[in-house]
Amino acid sequence: MMTKSLSIIIPAWNEQKTIAKTLTKYLNYFANEYQLEIIVVMDGCTDHTYDIVKSFSIKNPQIKPITFTKKLGKGGGIIKGFEVARGDIISFTDADGSTSPEELHQMIENMDDADVVIGSRWLDDSIIITKESLPRRIASRSFNLLIRILFNLPFKDTQCGAKIFKRYVIVNIINDLELTNFAFDVDLIYQINKNGYIIHEVPITWSHDSFSELAVAKAVPSMLLSIVGLRVKNTPYWNLIPKWISKPIFNRVKNI
């Protein structure tokens, strides 16, 4: 499948060790094949990530840096990227380059009869080149099992940082997105699935980068609180709670 234009959103927080390599790979692979924009959303970075991305953008107009001094969270950064993306196909991927451009392109090729394609590390044909640590793998699999139970989603890996969308999907659901932390992917897939769009989960070749800044011990509790809040909010009983009680509670847990 070919498309006229492609937007790649890369949320980045203190990725000075990896961002140059990632941008180089994506530029070299996609620049001559698509009308390309790479939107790097820098989320409260305190290192030299912005300087590196800005330097790339001067020489490569396909690179569009967006920076925020206040930390938005992974989901908050991606939503900001969605708001400015102009591609027929909109995607996002991790700043550490865990998903190669070849894999992202293969996902685009799988979009013919789907509205959304999500990469998965846990399908039978998935290939993990560099594995995550055992605690991260346990946390990931346990979290996904909980998501499948709570939201009745059939997907084995909601958290893989490689997802592709036809533009109209994002346009139609962006205002329904509520989570902005690392549980954002769950909210995104839940809203897309609830609206009846076709989602294909495909095996991916994936390599964990040890420079990734996500601290599992810190992220998991907040993600759990957020998804439980999202699940409760999407039950009939939620509307029985007075808004002066329910709204502050959800606002407190959704973006921890």
Does 244 map to a domain? no
Give the amino acid at 164: I
**pTM for the structure as a whole:** 0.86
The domain of 123 spans: 5-210
Does 232 map to a domain? no
Does 242 map to a domain? no
Does 205 map to a domain? yes
Does 247 map to a domain? no
Does 243 map to a domain? no
Q: Phi and psi dihedrals of 145, rounded to 5?
A: -60, -40
Is 190:184 a contact under the CB 8 Å cutoff? no
Q: According to the model, what pLDDT value does residue 238 have?
A: 47
Q: Which two tokens stand for residue 230?
A: 């999202």
- For the chain, the domain total comes to 1
**Tens digits of residue pLDDT in 187-206:** 999 999 999 999 999 999 98
Separation of alpha carbons 9 and 80, rounded Å: 9
Query: Looking at residue 138, which CATH number applies to its domain?
Result: 3.90.550.10
47: exposed, middle or buried (Cβ count in 10 Å: 0-12, 13-18, 19+):
middle
Separation of alpha carbons 56 and 64, rounded Å: 9
Give the Cα-Cα-Cα angle 226, 74, 172 (nearest 5 degrees).
80
- Helix (H) or strand (E) holding 55, with range, is helix 49-59
Does 245 map to a domain? no
**Tens digits of residue pLDDT in 25-39:** 999 999 988 999 999
Does 223 map to a domain? no
Separation of alpha carbons 188 and 174, rounded Å: 8
Give the amino acid at 178: E
**Tens digits of residue pLDDT in 46-63:** 999 999 999 999 999 999
